[in-house]
Structure 1
Amino acid sequence: MKTIKFFAAAILLTSASFASIAADQLSNQPAAGAQKIGVVSVSGVNNLSALEAELASKAEAAGASSYRIIAAGGKNKMYGTAEIFN
């Protein structure tokens, strides 16, 4: 029982720390001062959650402070594109 509690706490702390450093996804329009710095894309992921996580990771790696998903699709394997902003 202690092992289950330990792993649950470890997973919770890991996901909380990752979420705090990731780039923010914009809901509709970028902020007034935001400048588009590029586009990132991902393909070959299994579901929408993984697609969003990969796009967020690529946006962060590119130095973006925020991103907006502009395209997503696929059947067995998903693909997507996001604009990144500074």
Structure 2
Amino acid sequence: MKTIKTFVAALVLTSSFGAFASQTITASGATLDATEAKIAAQAQEMGASYKITSAFNRNQVHMTAELTK
């Protein structure tokens, strides 16, 4: 029984970390700098660092980033 409780506790802890580790955020703006500033603000609010994974510009910039703890 103790083994099952330990396994469940470990599963809960790893799943909550895993959910954060793969979190993605997006932002849109007029320029690359303005859009990255929005990404940086979102990451700071969540207490995380970020890595930009994509950015494209048509009429405005759209950026996606992955958060890391």
Aligned partner letter, 1:77: Q
Report which of the two structures shows the higher radius of gyration computed on alpha carbons: 2
Aligned length: 50
Moved over 3 A (4+): none
In structure 2, the partner of 1:46 is: 30
In structure 2, the partner of 1:9 is: none
Name the structure with the higher helix share: 2
Q: How far 1:37 moved relative to its partner?
A: 5.0
Question: TM-score, length-normalised on structure 1?
Answer: 0.52
Distance in 1 between residues matched to 2:37 and 2:65, nearest whole Å: 12
Identical residues among aligned pairs (%): 34
Q: Does 2:46 match 1:62?
A: yes
Cα RMSD (Å): 1.5
